Amino acid sequence: MYEWLKETLVNRLMLPEGAVTADASPETVGLDSLAVTELAMIAQEQWAVVVDEDEIAACATIGDVAALIERRRQQPAAR
C-alpha cells in the first residue's frame, strides 16, 4: 500500500518525490487540506474504501496513512 500511496502522492498530487518517505510527516511532504481531500477521493475511487479527511490529517507519518488505507481496504464493511 505504501508504494501505491507514494506513487499517488508524487504522480497524481504532484508532491516532491524525494520528500515522500514512510517516516515523513504529511506536512513535511506538502499534504495540505486540499491534497488530503483529493487523496481521500482517490482512495475511494481506487480501493472502494472510505477514509475520512480528518483521519488522514491525524496520521503522524505517510506510513501511517498507508496503514490506515490498508486497514480499510481489508475491512471495508467495518466503515
Q: How confident is the model at residue 75 (pLDDT cuts 50, 70, 90)?
A: confident
- Global pTM value: 0.89
Q: How far apart are the first and last CA of the chain?
A: 19
Stretch 57-72: mean pLDDT: 96
Q: What is the pLDDT of residue 79?
A: 46
Other CB atoms within a 10 A radius of the CB of residue 40 amount to 20
Three-state SS letters, the chain? CHHHHHHHHHHHCCCCHHHCCCCCCHHHHCCCHHHHHHHHHHHHHHHCCCCCHHHHHHCCCHHHHHHHHHHHHHCHHHC
